[in-house]
A = this chain, B = another copy of it.
Amino acid sequence: MRLSTKSRYAVTAMLDLALNGTQGPVTLADISENQSISLSYLEQLFAALRSKGLVRGVRGPGGGYYLGREADTITVADIICAVDEWVEYTRSSAYRGSKDAQPQTTRALWDDLSEQIFDFLDDITLSSLVVRGAERATASVPETAKTLSLGLRGEAA
């Protein structure tokens, strides 16, 4: 399991697609500007996302990216696995019998933890994140703010 800023870039970019992709594709240039990530780094991330079918690219002017599936079928685990691959103990070698048999035990316990984390993240979909965010925003908006909700899209600082 691995979770880094790279994962964050990928997840927030996918959230951008989920939020803005309803009316036409979203360009990487937009995402790059919105989230201040370099364009070609985004290209690299999206190459990985595309190869896993998580996004769908449309070329030419007016083109951009759509989500590859419905937002409620794309999980955070999917995205992280696509760009940051789940590092599962690649160093398998050291297994000669050490004095007490702890390596197997701690390894099994870690594997269990890793699986718990995966299952947790595999239950969180893009749409569930968006819904939670919307709920939170409407719930916590003070009544004064509701009157002037113009450029507001469901969030506060």
Binding site for B on A (CB under 8 A): 1-5, 8, 11-12, 15-16, 19-20, 33-36, 76, 87, 89, 91, 93-94, 98-113, 116-117, 120-121, 124, 129-130, 132-133, 136-137, 151-157
Q: In the bound complex, do residue A16 and residue B106 qualify as a contact, i.e. CB atoms below 8 Å apart?
A: yes
Number of copies: 2
Pick the contact of A153: B12, B99, B104 (CB < 8 A): B104
Measured CB to CB, the closest approach of chain B to A89, in angstroms, equals 8
Question: In the bound complex, what is the Cα–Cα distance between A101 and B137 (angstroms)?
Answer: 14
Q: Does A19 lie within 8 Å of B154, measured CB to CB?
A: no
CB nearest to A108 among chain B residues? B155
Closest to A120 in B: B120
Most B CB contacts (10 A, CB to CB) among A1, A8, A117, A120 go to A8
Q: Please pick, from B76, B99, B117, the residue contacting A113 in the complex, using a CB distance under 8 A.
A: B76
Whether A154 and B120, one on each chain, are in contact in the complex, defined by CB atoms closer than 8 angstroms, is no
Residue of B nearest to A152 (CB): B101
CB-based contact A109/B133 at 8 Å = yes
B155 to A104, Cβ gap below 8 A? yes
A101: chain B residues at CB < 8 Å are 151-153, 155
Contact A107 B151 (CB under 8 A): no
Q: Are B109 and A129 in contact (CB under 8 A)?
A: yes
> Which of A34, A98, A107, A117 is the most central at the interface, judged by chain B CB atoms within 10 Å of its CB?
A34
Chain B residue at minimum C-beta to C-beta distance from A8? B110
